[in-house]
Amino acid sequence: MTAVELIVKATRLCNLRCSYCYDWRAGAGNTMSFETLARLLARTLTPADHDVVGFDWHGGEPTLLPLTFFKKALHLQDRFRRPEQLVRNVIQTNATLITSEWAKFLAENSFDVGISIDGPADVHDRYRVDRAGRPTLARTLEGLARLRDHGIEPGIGIVVDRAGLEAGPAALFDFLVAHRARLVGLNFVMPEALAPDVGAVDRRHYVDPDESAAFLVGLYDQWRSHGDPGIHIRELAALVDSLHGVRPGPCTLAGRCFGIVFRIEPNGDVYHCDYFGEDPRYRWGNITTDDFATLRQNPSLRIRTATHAGERNKLRSCPEFSVCHGWCPHVRATAREHHEGYRTDCCGLRDLIAHIRANPPVPRVRTATTSA
């Protein structure tokens, strides 16, 4: 069974101006045409070996597009998918534009939904502002409430930047509990892929592996002390699973992503994942002219795959390699460029994994009660 994950930049337009974000664009040519959409879906769903396909609709802000765009996408999926093929749709949104109509559509069509929320107002609103510089947390929470009113429990995607580090993991965890978050994923802020230097003057927009691991240790302790197994923090849950012999689900800990994860730009350009930006070394082709067999034979993809394998071989001497599988190639690539503590024999998660080993999750014990 072959799985393929597509991060579809349906539009690069956005109604926010998050200060750490380099994903938005302005002007014409930043929204996917129907012709490109149709070619993308046909080329993705027709290969006989694409048994499981995930469409992750990203931006910019995808809810700036009309609902008709996604209705057409679903129609095309029905047209091209095979009866035995599993197709999943996810939309990642800042939720400020979620109306009841949007929530109803997403619920009726079984979309998974991810919302970007960075934490309490003094954290979230420090970076996540609209085009006029106004805070956005209140509007995002209103969108969250509308989704819940329609039976959708979205995942919460958190970008951890300087403000989040300064507030600390306890403040973040308390916020998640207060807002009944159940599915949580963390993204530690990274510089733009081709940024020449980020450490000399302004470090707001790079959290290095040592800092991220230390933050995750604190967050793990908060989660463990709280004792609610229903709160699923993606990175921590994946490491706990891996320690118990379960292959981690997130691509960042899977050990293999090249040729499986693809990012599709509005003009059809195909890159590797959502992290390497417009680095030409990670561009595999264009979906309007290249099928997946051609994309996977691209010389750049083959070089990057071999490079990744070589880096992972150097990491095998780490005693925790079987747990982290070398972590994310983008984290390693960024650390190699910008982190003074970069090491070729450790991905940066060793201390976190050792901490989890020494402090395993406490099983939640239900106490039987009897009525008088």
Q: Angle 100-108/67-80 helices, nearest 10 degrees?
A: 10
Q: Closest Cα to residue 43, out of 81, 85, 74, 16?
A: 81
Phi, psi of 130 (to 5 degrees): -85, -175
Task: Provide the whole-model pTM.
Answer: 0.94
Amino acid residing at 225? S
Bridge partner list, 115: 93, 156
Q: Is the peptide bond before 60 cis (omega within 30 degrees of 0)?
A: yes
Contact yes or no for 348/335 (Cβ under 8 A): yes
Q: Taking the mean position of all CA atoms in its chain, how far away is CA 272?
A: 13
Pure H helices in 158-247: 162-167, 169-178, 209-226, 234-243
- Three-state SS for 8? strand
Are 29 and 68 in contact by the 8 Å Cβ rule? The answer is: no
What is residue 1's predicted lDDT score, i.e. its pLDDT? 64
Q: At what angle do helices 100-108 and 137-149 cross, to 10 degrees?
A: 50
| Angle between helices 209-226 and 234-243 in degrees, nearest 10 | 80
pLDDT of residue 293: 96
pLDDT along the chain (372 residues), means of 10: 92 96 93 98 97 97 98 98 96 98 98 98 97 98 98 98 96 98 96 74 77 98 93 96 93 94 98 94 98 97 96 96 96 92 95 97 52 31
The reported pLDDT for the residue numbered 202 is 53
